[in-house]
Amino acid sequence: MIHDRTIEPRPGIPWNVRRATPADLEAILAIQQGSPEAPAWRNPTWRQMLTMDQAGPLIRVCLVAEGENGALRSRCVLGFCVACCAGEWSELESVATVVSARGQGVGRALCREVMAWSRGQGARVMELEVRASNGAAQALYRSLGFADQGVRRNYYQDPVEDAVLMSAELLMAAGTGVLA
């Protein structure tokens, strides 16, 4: 059984990371809408992912970062990250940060946690695909130990674009224990 523990904000880090719940759906969809580089999953897909049980060979985790968002002065979802895992393999499926909170470490913290979670599930490697033009995401992934593994020609639609395939060894992946 996975115990959810919220990582509370630390000095200088005004947000925390926790497992997403169905109550986060609206906020997640809004961030996704403002992040056309991320997969455009529909409401029912998200709903299923946020309510799924963890039985079967493929297991998935959805995390959100929650904190104050500038002028709003109220706590809200600042970003999300989704990964799945099957045996020694895992995939980082999506990550996005609300535009106004980018560049503050939210994306990296979310990715670190799903990498640590995947390692905890027994995965040894994490893979992902990213648009060839998405320099920000590629820089984020490289900073986390991902390396290029190849290119999948014309993989994406609207607009058509190549995918860069990346992977990282998870042997050293360490998070703060939000899903310990």
Ligand X SMILES: CC(C)(COP(=O)(O)OP(=O)(O)OC[C@H]1O[C@@H](n2cnc3c(N)ncnc32)[C@H](O)[C@@H]1OP(=O)(O)O)[C@@H](O)C(=O)NCCC(=O)NCCS
The catalytic residues are 129, 141
Identified binder of ligand X from the candidate list 7, 20, 27, 38, rule CB under 6 A: 38
Q: How far is CA 65 from CA 24, 49, 79, 86, in A?
A: 11, 17, 5, 24
Q: Does 168 bind ligand X (CB under 6 A)?
A: no
Q: Does 97 bind ligand X (CB under 6 A)?
A: yes
Tokens describing residue 151 = 């290119």
Q: Does 115 bind ligand X (CB under 6 A)?
A: no
* CB closest to ligand X, residue no: 107
CB-CB neighbours of 180 under 10 Å: 12
Identified binder of ligand X from the candidate list 122, 143, 169, 174, rule CB under 6 A: 143
Q: Does 104 bind ligand X (CB under 6 A)?
A: yes
Q: Is the dihedral of CA 167, 126, 22, 179 positive or negative?
A: negative
The Cα–Cα gap between 67 and 89 comes to: 31
Question: Under the rule (CB under 6 A), what is the footprint of ligand X?
Answer: 35, 37-38, 79, 95-97, 102-108, 130, 134-137, 139-140, 143
